[in-house]
Amino acid sequence: MANYDYDLFVIGAGSGGVRAGRMAAGFGARVAIAEDRFMGGTCVNVGCVPKKLYVYASEYGKGFGDAREFGWDADKPAFNWSTLRDNKKAEISRLNAIYRNLLDGVEAEIIDGRGHIVDAHTVAVGENSYTTERILIATGCWPHVPEFPGSEHTVTSNEIFDLETFPERMMVVGGGYIAVEFAGIFNGMGAAVTQLYRGPLFLRGFDSDIRAHAAQEIAKSGVDLRFEVNVESIERDAGGLQVKLTDGSSVETDVVLYATGRRPHLEGLGLENVNVKLNDSGAIAVDAEYRTDEPSVFALGDVIGGMELTPLALAEGMAFARKEFAGVNAPVDYEFIPTTVFCQPNIGTVGYTEEQAQDRFENIELYKSTFKPMKHTISGRDEKTFMKMIVDMATDKVVGVHMVGPDAGEIMQGIAIALRSGATKAVFDSTIGIHPTAAEEFVTMREPWAED
């Protein structure tokens, strides 16, 4: 048996890599983990954690306005960008330390630097080389900005959290969840936001009703949505950034955030030194056990494509560690994975979209509901909640649930448990609702929706 320095060498200390390393060490493996940027990866540092904090900040602006009709008669406070930014930095530093302490607690060695694969059992970090029985790649994804005249004037979701000054005017380019979320965040903080998307409707891959309703509500909130248009060029002048668009118009803005996609972060990994193949989307190709074509090299998380979700990377890290170091085969079930988009109002979704269900099941039944949230019956805010349920008529099982409205993510977590348990429409119908809540609507949808 070969004598290696480690049983597992993890490249990347994000959610998936840290979970896999911690669990492997807990099973008795000798583990090292290399990270060249920040502990906790994208989610903790430039992803879901700071983004959610900024969503909270952005919602106060509307909340102060809502409060007047509830009897709170006061001037709207001023927003201080630097206070939010610096408090966010302090919280992220705290979380970075927690991740480091978690690894120290199981005696996993942390190596600061970018891991470079030398061969199937050797990883170099800087001037030092380490041998290992297994290598795990968990380097995640990185924002990608296409090259065009003036592309150097753009920022990505990595930099947007730490701008030196708050932009009074912002352009967001992209139609995925990151673009939609940041458009809402800066709109809520008081910036004049324009969002561009080259297609006819953003949030491709989500249920079509959800996409349409979200566009309607986001436009009502004040975001200037422009579909089927793209950036042609950007120039800087005394007034800010002059953005020329493909429809012949131009927009003057202070910041252009490009959120048009993320790519697997593979630079400098040394994949050319091992038998690791990429799939058509440029992600690392793996089998059901996260093994590449190189038997000793594994990969998981965003770097293998699929849904870019922190809890999914955590689940994959656990499944990998259990299989490789505890002999427990407990694969991840990729059906009925819930997700949310922290736009305003929120989107929550689990299961099949209507389009997917039509392809998967012989006959489906739809249930839909649109209503004004109870809070806004007094606040006066022009906002509507939308809910949708998809049922497989052959089994009566609920196979898709989708929502646009306040707290959609919180509500959808419980719905996901029901769908994973195989709940039928009859089970939903027989469940007593919590009144008055928006969530109770999911157990009171009695009449199937019919196309008018």
The answer to whether 300 and 16 have CB atoms below 8 angstroms apart is: yes
What SS3 class is residue 253? strand
Does the N-terminal peptide bond of residue 436 adopt cis geometry, omega within 30 degrees of 0? yes
Please report, as a single letter, which amino acid is at residue 153: H
Dihedral of alpha carbons 153, 214, 185, 253, sign: positive
Burial readout 135-148 (b: 16 or more C-beta within 10 A, e: otherwise): bbbbbbbbbebeee
DSSP of 301-369: GGGG-S---HHHHHHHHHHHHHHHHS--------SS--EEE-SSS-EEEEE--HHHHHHHSS-EEEEEE
Q: Which one-letter DSSP state was computed for residue 161?
A: G
Dihedral of alpha carbons 169, 186, 403, 368, sign: negative
Instruction: Quote the crossing angle between the two packed helices 177-189 and 208-221, to the nearest 10°.
Output: 20
Distance CA 383, CA 252 (A): 29
| Distance, first Cα to last Cα, the chain | 70
Distance CA 56, CA 295 (A): 45
Tokens describing residue 322: 């259990």
What SS3 class is residue 198? coil
Tokens describing residue 330: 């407990």
Verify whether residue 435 is a known catalytic residue.
yes
Which residue of the set 116, 121, 376, 435 is catalytic? 435
Q: How many Cα atoms occupy the beta-carbon half-sphere of 61 within 13 Å?
A: 19
Dihedral of alpha carbons 438, 442, 447, 449, sign: positive
Q: How many CB atoms lie within 10 A of CB 429?
A: 12
Distance CA 214, CA 248 (A): 27
Does the N-terminal peptide bond of residue 345 adopt cis geometry, omega within 30 degrees of 0? yes
Distance CA 378, CA 36 (A): 51
Tokens describing residue 214: 């979200």
Residues annotated as catalytic are 435
